[in-house]
Amino acid sequence: VRGWVNPPHVTPHYWTAAEMLLLQMDMLAYLDESVAEPTLVVGAGVPTQWLDRPLSVRGVSTRIGQVDWSWKDGVMDVVVRGRRCKARLGPAFAPGTQVRLRTLNP
């Protein structure tokens, strides 16, 4: 037998914990490569209730580089340290929401 036979507490398996963390990171920013031109998706897992307050995310690693974003006063500011790409917002954001995208070369 490996590990606890009768554990005093429940913790997720390392594989499960890693999958949960990767999913949570994808909820913040990920690269959608299923479309003709790869597109950065920002805030796909952000619930609508959170949009009435400022939000800020820093250093999310994606296939195109690190992504920072901040949401304030109805405007999304996105900074990508890596390759240039298109960006779109998750479903909680209203259509036509202003996105200011900047690309910095690392």
Predicted confidence (pLDDT) per residue in 79-93, tens digit? 999 999 999 999 999
Identify the pLDDT of residue 1.
56
Q: Is the CB of residue 99 less than 8 Å from the CB of residue 78?
A: yes
pTM confidence score: 0.81
Distance CA 27, CA 83 (A): 20
Residue 14 reports pLDDT greater than 70: yes
Q: How many CA atoms lie within 13 A of 41 on its CB side?
A: 17
Q: What is the 3-state secondary structure (H, E, C) of the chain?
A: CCCCCCCCCCCCCHHHHHHHHHHHHHHHEEEECCCCCCEEEECCCCCHHHHHCCEEEEEEEECCEEEEEEEECCEEEEEEEECCCEEEECCCCCCCCEEEEEEECC
Identify the pLDDT of residue 20.
83
Residue 104 reports pLDDT greater than 70: yes
* Banded model confidence at residue 106, pLDDT cuts 50, 70, 90: low
Identify the pLDDT of residue 59.
94
Predicted confidence (pLDDT) per residue in 23-77, tens digit? 888 899 999 999 999 999 999 999 999 999 999 999 999 999 999 999 999 999 9
